[in-house]
Amino acid sequence: MVSKAYNNPEYYEIALSSLRNVKKEVDFLDKAAKKYSKVKVYSMMEIGCGNSPYVEEISKKGYQFVGLDLNKRMLDFSKTKAKKKEVDIKTAYANMLNFKLKEKVDFCFVLFGSIYRKNHEEFLQHLKCVSNSLKKGGLYVLHMVIEGDVNEIEGKFIDYSKRGNIKVKVEYEKRVIDISRQLLQENLTLFVNDNGKKIKLFEPNIYNFILPQEFKLMIKQSDFEFLDWFDGFNINKKFDGLRKCEYVVCILRKK
Ligand X SMILES: C[S@@+](CC[C@H](N)C(=O)[O-])C[C@H]1O[C@@H](n2cnc3c(N)ncnc32)[C@H](O)[C@@H]1O
Residues lying near ligand X in the complex (CB under 6 A) are found at: 6, 16, 46, 48-50, 53, 69-71, 74, 95-97, 111-112, 114, 116
Q: Which is nearer to ligand X, 69 or 231 (CB)?
A: 69
Q: How far is the CB of 243 from ligand X (least distance, A)?
A: 26
CB 104 within 8 A of CB 43: no
Closest CA to 131 of 120, 139, 122, 142: 139
CB of 159 to ligand X, least distance (A): 13
Q: How far is the CB of 97 from ligand X (least distance, A)?
A: 5
Contact 239, 215 (CB under 8 A): no
Residue nearest ligand X by beta-carbon distance? 50
Say how many C-beta atoms besides its own lie within 10 A of residue 69's C-beta: 26
| CB nearer ligand X, residue 16 or residue 190 | 16
Q: What's the rounded Cα separation, in Å, for the pair 183 and 112?
A: 17
Which of 48, 148 has the CB closer to ligand X? Answer: 48
Which residues lie closer than 8 Å to 188 by C-beta, 6 or more apart?
A: 5, 170, 171, 172, 202, 203, 204, 205
| Radius of gyration of the CA atoms of the chain, in A | 18
Closest distance of CB 49 from ligand X, Å: 5
Q: How far apart are CA 154 and CA 176, in angstroms?
A: 7
Q: Which is nearer to ligand X, 39 or 145 (CB)?
A: 145
Name the minimum Å distance from CB 248 to ligand X.
16
3 or 137: whose CB is closer to ligand X?
3
CA 103 to mean position of chain CA atoms? 21
